[in-house]
Amino acid sequence: MGNSMSGELSLDALMRTLKGTLIDGVFVFVTADAMPAGLKPRMVFEEAEGTTIICLRDEAVALGLDYEFASRMITLDVHSSLEAVGFMAVIATELAKEGMGVNPVAGFYHDHIFVPDGREGDAMVVLERLAVEARLA
């Protein structure tokens, strides 16, 4: 496969081109021993204690699943390298300054952040400010 799809490594370039897209729906985190039938997960991660599933809250409720962290998903629309250093740390630090926890997920093509439901507007403002500051630097 080579490096043709490796993504951006430069933190400066990542910050200058940072753009967030708010994804429709409220997402939640569920844990289960097995994948519940009929569930369409956004992410699945196998841990020693059980399977972590991120899915839409409506689906979790419909299936009677216990869940935590009602959140909104923001996709960071820059193809970051899986080896990029510091990108998520900068974003998480700035969101923390606004009193906002964030659960980041790295996909192959993009990073995604899950922020508390109701704080997505604040998060989008922070992302835009970071991009503007990086372009002015």
The domain limits of the chain are 11-136
Across residues 70-80, what is the average pLDDT? Answer: 88
Is residue 16 classed exposed, middle or buried when 0-12, 13-18 and 19+ CB atoms within 10 A define those classes? middle
Residues 78-115: tens digit of each pLDDT: 766 656 667 888 899 999 999 998 999 988 888 899 99
Residues 22-47: tens digit of each pLDDT: 999 999 999 998 889 989 999 999 99
More confident residue, 116 or 110: 116
pTM of the model: 0.87
Tokens of 6: 């490796």
Can you identify the CATH homologous superfamily of domain 11-136? VC0802-like (3.30.2130.10)
Residues 43-68: tens digit of each pLDDT: 999 999 999 999 999 999 999 999 99
Calculate Rg over the CA atoms of the chain.
Answer: 16
Contact assessment for residue 54 and residue 41, using Cβ atoms and an 8 Å cutoff: yes
